[in-house]
Amino acid sequence: MSDLPGAISLREVGPRDGLQNEAPVPTDAKVALIDALSRTGVSRIEAVSFVHPRAIPQMADADAVWAQVKRADDVRYSALVPNLRGAQRALDAGFAEIEVVLSASDTHNKRNINRSTAESLDDIAGVIDAVHAAGATCQVIVATAWGCPYEGDIPVERVVGVASRAVRDGADSIAFGDTTGMATPTRVEALVGAVRSAHPEIGLNLHFHNTRGTGLANVLAALRLGVSDFDASVGGLGGCPYAPGASGNIASEELVHMVEDMGVATGVDLEAMIEAAGEAERMVGHTLPSQVLRAGPRTRRTPMPDAAGT
């Protein structure tokens, strides 16, 4: 597969996207998880989000978490925000990379941020300016890019239109989120192709959920198109808020396990990531969906039973 990128940059989103969809865990457990992830060799970690504590109580201690994290020099940490107020809190906390999120679907955006997509885009223009004025970078994340739990499919033209407005307003990069796992490889090709032809230079980060089992297939489709920035969550931490019991984010160790064997470097120590997934599982107190966490890497051998067969 010589057409694949030689390396990818994995952004670990377990501490934010993952924990946001779990029952609240103590601050020191969150800090321990981020510290464990910082030691895996992962290049980026989405550490916290700055959202209203009434909306997402799981992130109410974002400042305390970030103050206690042992920051590694070779890791880029980011914070996710829904609006200008969140961006200001993230900048005050010292984040140099900010992600501002909106939904391509009006219904989902209204449920999440209480605004239409168009209203959010107007707000985001101001967020980008404020983030740049503080010397930080701003990525615009377009959620429900491959479908909405309320509206169903979102037309590619609408998603590209949202991304185009953000690019015009100065976004440093664009991320597309498959919020409820509705993407398939064909749909990944369609959206990535359309945004590439509209904005050949813009950086693209993809965020897949494995809700319907297509997560890694979508990654492979995107790799073949030359995309090299991906989100994943340790252990597959974080479920799907729209489908109780369903899995959410693709698991970091599954992504690393697959692409490294295909000659795509991640910088991640797979055993260290599996160990962190085990820690995450103990922290939330239930089984996480990662299959590499269960089975171990393909290079791991089962010890031979002794003569008694025990």
Binding region for Zn ion (CB under 5 A): 17, 249
Nearest residue to Zn ion, by Cβ distance, number only: 17
Question: 130 or 246: whose CB is closer to Zn ion?
Answer: 246
Q: What is the largest CA-CA distance in the chain?
A: 71
Q: What angle do CA 199, 189, 266 make, to 5 degrees?
A: 85
CB neighbour list of residue 306: distance below 8 Å, 6 or more residues apart: none
Give the number of other Cβ atoms within 10 Å of residue 242's Cβ: 14
Q: Measure the CA–CA gap between 261 and 268, rounded to whole angstroms.
A: 13
Question: 91 or 276: whose CB is closer to Zn ion?
Answer: 276
- CB 35, min distance to Zn ion, A: 22
Q: Which amino acid is at 39?
A: R
What are the helix (H) ranges across 114-199? 117-133, 156-168, 185-198
Q: Six-digit token pair at 146?
A: 């491959």
Question: 46 or 61: whose CB is closer to Zn ion?
Answer: 46
Q: Measure the CA–CA gap between 143 and 175, rounded to whole angstroms.
A: 8
Please confirm, yes or no, whether 138 is among the known catalytic residues: no
- CB 310, min distance to Zn ion, A: 43
The catalytic residue among 240, 259, 273, 274 is: 240
- CB 205, min distance to Zn ion, A: 12
CB 141 within 8 A of CB 177: yes
Question: 179 or 266: whose CB is closer to Zn ion?
Answer: 179
Cross-strand partners of 203: 173
Question: 80 or 276: whose CB is closer to Zn ion?
Answer: 80
- CB 175, min distance to Zn ion, A: 10
- CB 16, min distance to Zn ion, A: 9
CB 146 within 8 A of CB 191: yes
- Residues acting as catalytic residues: 240
